[in-house]
Amino acid sequence: MPAFQGFIFDMDGVLVDSEPVYMEQERHSYARHGVVLDEAQLSRFVGTTQRHMWSAIKTEYGLADDLDCLMAEHHRQLMEVLNSAPLPPMPGVTELLDALKRAGIPCAVASSSPRTQVELILRNAGLHLFFSEIVCGDDVTHSKPDPEIFLMAAKRLGISPSSCVVIEDAAHGVAAAKAASMFCVGLLNPNSGQQDLSAADLHVHRHSEINHWFFGK
C-alpha cells in the first residue's frame, strides 16, 4: 500500500447520512416551483454544489426566479430542518477519525455544501475537532466532478494529491477524486441514491472496513 499521508472526507453521505434529508427538502423546494423529480433525477445532483443544482433546474424547467433567490430560499429551509433535527455521525466514523488522529494523519473535509451548512452539521455531530481543514462548495469555482475542491484540500493540508485518500459516496465525487490523482474509497451508501462508484479504488459498506484496510485491525 502506498504511504498515504492524509485523508479527505466528503461530508454528506460519508460523515453523516444526510442525503435522505436533502432529497426530501429538495422535493419540497422544487414543488413550490411546479417541478417534480423522481429519485433517479434527484440522484444526479448528489455531490454537487447548490449553485450547480439550482442552475440546472432553473435552465431545464425555465424558472423565472433569480438563481441566488432560489438558492437562498432553499438554504434557509434546509438550515431550519438541520437545526431542529441534528444529524448524528454515521456508524464507525468517530472511531475511524479518532484512529487517524492518534496516528497523526491529518484530515480534511471537502464538501460541496455551503460553509454555514457544513459547519453546523459537523458541530452538531461532534466531528469538527477532527479536521484541520474544511473546504466547501462556496470556496470553489467548479463543482464536482471537477477536481478543484480536492486539490484545494490537499494544498491546504500541505500534502501531494497522490498521497491523499478520499472517501466518497457519490459518482461525481469519485470522478473528482480520480481526476485529482487521489486514491478513492467508495462508500456504498444506499441512502445516497443511485450512485455508480465503480471508478473507486476500494469499495466498502462501512467505515470499520476502512479502519481495517488502513490500520490492519
From CA 189, how far away is CA 2, in angstroms rounded?
Answer: 26
Q: Would you give the DSSP letter of residue 195?
A: -
Instruction: Round to the nearest angstrom and report the end-to-end CA distance of the chain.
Output: 15
Q: Of 10, 17, 146, 169, which is the active-site residue? A: 10
Q: Of 12, 17, 146, 169, which is the active-site residue? A: 12
From CA 30, how far away is CA 152, in angstroms rounded?
Answer: 32
Beta strands per DSSP E along 19-156: 107-110, 133-135
Tell me whether residue 17 is one of the annotated catalytic residues.
no
Say how many C-beta atoms besides its own lie within 10 A of residue 208's C-beta. Answer: 14
- Which CA distances in Å does 7 have to 55, 62, 101, 155? 31, 40, 11, 12
Tell me whether residue 10 is one of the annotated catalytic residues.
yes
- Which CA distances in Å does 97 have to 15, 82, 107? 10, 23, 8
Residues recognised as catalytic: 10, 12
